[in-house]
Amino acid sequence: MTVSGDRSTDPAAGAAARKAPQGLPLDQADGLRRLFAGRGCRVLALAANPHVAFGGLVLDRVAAVLAALGREVLVVDAAASSPAAHELARLDLAACIEGVAPRVS
């Protein structure tokens, strides 16, 4: 599961930590760095155990909560029982992503 929206992996996020004591920027480019920094990506790996009841429900609820918080969520089914990859996967991976719910793919 990939979750976007965390700024902790952003290289420009360190600029915010280097601010002057009164919250003033260190230089003129500080605002531009924050404007164009973008959103980082955070990976949350969950492994389902087929011998534990409701494992799929936990994954569904975690994805729903993260989407409700405004995160973009990508669920990847890498189990041995998952369906084969679409034939376009080698050419255009984005064409193979199917939407499950708003903000969840």
Residue 7 has a pLDDT of 46
Residue 88, Cα to own-chain centre: how many angstroms? Answer: 23
Q: Which pTM was predicted?
A: 0.53
The average confidence (pLDDT) of the chain is 75
Residue 3 has a pLDDT of 53
Over residues 32-71, the pLDDT tens digits come to 777 777 667 788 888 877 788 888 888 889 888 988 988 8
Q: Is the pLDDT of residue 12 over 70?
A: no
What tokens were used for 94? Answer: 């984005």
Residue 86 has a pLDDT of 79
Under a CB-based contact definition with an 8 Å cutoff, are residues 48 and 59 in contact?
yes
Q: CA-CA distances (angstroms) from residue 95 to 20, 32, 86, 88, 92?
A: 46, 33, 9, 7, 6
